[in-house]
Every structure is written in C-alpha cells, then in structure tokens.
Amino acid sequence: MGEGVVAVVRGVFSSLFLVFLLLFSGSSLVKKAWAILDPVDFLALQAVGKSLEDMPGSAFFAGWDFTGDPCGFPGVFCAGDRVVALALGDPRAGSPGLSGRLDPALGRLSALAELSLVPGRVVGSIPDSLSLCSDLRFLALSKNFLSGPIPDSLGSLRRLRTLDLSYNQLSGSIPPSLPSIPAMANLVLCHNRLSGSIPAFPDSAPLLRMDLKHNDLSGPVPALPSALRYLSLSSNRLAGRVDGVLPRLTRLSYLDLSMNQLEGPIPGCVFSFPLQSLQLQRNFFSGPVAPSAAPSEVAIPVVDLSYNRFWGPVPPQLAAVGRLYLNNNRFTGEVPGRLVQGLMGGMQLLYLQHNYLTGVEISPAAAIPVGASLCLQYNCMVPPVDAPCPLKAGTQKTRPTDQCPEWQG
C-alpha cells in the first residue's frame, strides 16, 4: 500500500471514529478500543494476529483482545497513537513460539522501530513490505523456518542498526544493498542457505558484528570496515587469500574463518589484535607463523591453527596463549622451551600432534600440571611424555622414519 493511499485510509477511518465517538460517547468500550490507536495500525495488528498462532503450550495471542486497547497487548509498544515496537511471541525461555506466516500488513506499521520474533515454526518469506517501515532500527526474526530470499528492499531502511535473520532456511544471495545502510552495526545471517559472494562494505561503515557462518557462501573475503569487532565466516566455501583484508581490522575481538578453502599466509599483525578467540582451522593456509605482536608474548585465550599447511618453526611468542591448537600442520624443528614453560605456567592445552617436530628443548616429564593437556604424538620424535591425546590423533606414537629424514630417533 502506497503512502498516499495509507494517508487517505487513515483520514477516512479517523473521520469515522470521530462519528462513532460522537454517537456512542457514553460507551466506555468505544472510548477504550477505538480512541487510542491509529486506525491503520489497528487493522495491521489484526492482520498480523490472524496470520500467526500460538504453538501448543504458548498463550501469547490470548492477550490480543481487540475489544480492548491494542497498546496494552503483549508484545505491542506504542508511542502516542502509533505502534513503535512489536515483539511477537512469549520471550520467556522454553516458550514454544508461534507458527504461521508473517503478514505483509506489517509494512503498514509505518512508525515501527523494532520488530522481533521469538524462536518457533513461522514459515514463508520475509515480507517485502517491511521496507515501508522507514523508522525500523531493529529487525530480528531468528530461529524459525523462514525461506526464500532476503528482500533487497531492506537496503532502503536507512536507520536499521541490527538485522538478525539467523537460523532459518533463507536462500539466494546477500542483497548488495545491505552494505549501503549507513547505520548498520550488526549483521547476523548465520545458519541459513545463503550462496554467492559476500558484498564489500565501505570502510566508513559502522559495522561492529558480522556473523555469516554456516551458509554456502563462496568467493573471496571482501573488503570490510575497520570498525569490526566480531567476524565469523566459518563453514562456508570461501576461497583466496586474506592477508590483504585482515591487517586493517585492528579492533577485532573475535575472528573465525575456520572450515573454508582459504589459502596463503596469515599476517603476523593479527596476533596483536585484542582477540579473545582466533579460529583459522581447517583451511589451506600456509607459510610460517610469525607473530608481530608488540608484547613479547601473545595472550589470546584461544588460538586454533590446526589442519592447515603452516610450516617452519613453532613460534615461541605463543607461550601465553590459553588453548593452542597447532596440530595437523607441517611445523618442523624443536618445540620451544618457552612453550613448555607456558604449559607449566597457565596454558591449559597445547596440541602439536601430526607435524614434523624433532624434539623438545626441555623435557616436560613430571612437570605438566594436572588438568593441562599436551599432545606430541606422530611427529619425528619419540614423545618424551606419555600424555593422553584426543582420539583423532590416532594410536601411532611417531611418524615413519621415511617421512623424517632429519630424525635421529
């Protein structure tokens, strides 16, 4: 419905309501039900209520009695005579949620600033009409069964800060219009069936969180804004190098590029970022690992570089990492003494299995604290300590000698 038509409808209904109020001024029912909410919003809420229903065990719509004031309905929040926020479903933990479909009438709530949907079994497409809600700042429709493409028209929502469509069955590409939303700070589209490439974002974008994991996205990691704090692109089919993209993302506190087909070196500056977790496992990354952190040691709680093609010496600067996974690579030489000392001084886990390491600078025997994990098996040495390894490490303690020409075992 166009804005002109909506204005005409709103004017006609307003006139009718004035007549009702004059004719039935003695009726408290009329005063309560009709004198508060804008008529177009009233009809839109009725359409929304008819298109959705409570799952067994939910009683959310039991409170939607249109003989009363809709601004008092569960999940409906008004400012003056307009609906400004709509939270569909019982938000309490364990609520079964709703079923049905999202009605295009949602687009008639033109003053809407926030729209959310609790986890449930709502199916169908995302209404294209949501683009008419020009004041929309928060849109969260996660953990349902929504399908079809993400409407490209959502790019016209210039005030949208958060878009969370995660854990649905959405398909097609990420609309190229989304990066042009000037206020976008949180883009969460993970656990869908999205394909195609990730659109580039301008460096000036205020984007703080991008979560696109568990889709079917392909192509390279594009240019991303330097404001990013959280980036998760794991479990896609992304390919190419990232050493031209990552150095500018100096504010990252979380980075997960795991389970893709990315290749090339990892820039050493990444280890100086304020990261709480660095997940790069199961790619085709290669080259030496050479942290260029300003401090003498990298203090990231979790670093996972496993199942790649990294080679060269194990970097001693990683001794302060809490949980360090370097297994299933091509590291050579001796395990640095600083790393073993780190294990004795607070490191919780050190996995070095399935490399080509030839020794340990100091023997960790009888010095590994209870609760710490060290795995050294299947290298070019006899493990100096019989520590328990994960099942995936296998049962073979050392590599065959023909794979270790420098081994003096």
Alpha-carbon distance of 55 to 63, in angstroms, equals 15
Alpha-carbon distance of 264 to 74, in angstroms, equals 53
Alpha-carbon distance of 67 to 132, in angstroms, equals 28
Give the mean pLDDT of 181-193: 98
Other Cβ atoms within 10 Å of 80 Cβ, number = 10
Question: What's the mean per-residue pLDDT of the chain?
Answer: 89
Q: Name residue 296's amino acid.
A: S
The fraction of the chain above a pLDDT of 70, given in percent, is 89
pLDDT value, residue 361: 78
Beta-ladder partners of 279: 256, 304
The DSSP bridge pattern shows strands 323-325 and 237-240 to be: unpaired
Q: In the predicted model, is pLDDT for residue 116 greater than 80?
A: yes
Give the mean pLDDT of 120-141: 98
Alpha-carbon distance of 293 to 299, in angstroms, equals 10
Question: Tens digits of per-residue pLDDT, 368-401?
Answer: 787 889 999 999 998 887 778 898 888 899 999 8
pLDDT value, residue 328: 98
Q: Name residue 231's amino acid.
A: L
Q: In the predicted model, is pLDDT for residue 107 greater than 90?
A: yes
pLDDT value, residue 388: 83
Q: In the predicted model, is pLDDT for residue 242 greater than 60?
A: yes
Give the mean pLDDT of 183-198: 98
Q: In the predicted model, is pLDDT for residue 193 greater than 70?
A: yes
pLDDT value, residue 27: 38
pLDDT value, residue 326: 98
Give the mean pLDDT of 263-282: 97
Question: Tens digits of per-residue pLDDT, 15-55?
Answer: 444 434 333 333 333 334 444 899 999 999 999 999 999 99
pLDDT value, residue 344: 83
Give the mean pLDDT of 182-188: 98
Alpha-carbon distance of 26 to 41, in angstroms, equals 25
Question: Tens digits of per-residue pLDDT, 316-363?
Answer: 999 999 999 999 999 999 999 889 888 888 899 999 999 999 998 776
Q: In the predicted model, is pLDDT for residue 13 greater than 70?
A: no
DSSP class of residue 398 equals: B
Alpha-carbon distance of 408 to 390, in angstroms, equals 26
Q: In the predicted model, is pLDDT for residue 83 greater than 50?
A: yes
pLDDT value, residue 33: 40
Question: Tens digits of per-residue pLDDT, 93-106?
Answer: 888 999 999 999 99
> Do residues 275 and 298 lie in contact, with contact meaning Cβ atoms separated by under 8 Å?
no
Q: What SS3 class is residue 220?
A: coil
Alpha-carbon distance of 206 to 183, in angstroms, equals 7
Tokens 């687009």 appear where? 107
Neighbouring residues of 4: CB distance < 8 A, sequence distance ≥ 6:
none
pLDDT value, residue 315: 94
Q: In the predicted model, is pLDDT for residue 269 greater than 50?
A: yes
Alpha-carbon distance of 75 to 52, in angstroms, equals 14
Please report the beta strands in 46-149, taking only residues with DSSP state E, as ranges in sequence order.
52-54, 76-79, 82-88, 98-101, 114-117, 121-124, 138-140, 145-148
Phi-psi region of 328 (alpha: psi -120 to 50; beta: other; left: phi over 0): left
pLDDT value, residue 399: 93
Weakest mean pLDDT among 1-10, 64-73, 291-300, 302-311:
1-10
Q: Is the pTM here over 0.85, yes or no? A: yes
DSSP class of residue 282 equals: S
pLDDT value, residue 311: 97
Q: Name residue 64's amino acid.
A: W
pLDDT value, residue 379: 94
Quote the tokens at residue 104.
């295009």
Give the mean pLDDT of 285-300: 83
Q: Is 144 exposed, middle or buried (0-12, 13-18, 19+ CB in 10 A)?
A: buried
Neighbouring residues of 260: CB distance < 8 A, sequence distance ≥ 6:
233, 234, 235, 236, 237, 238, 239, 282, 283
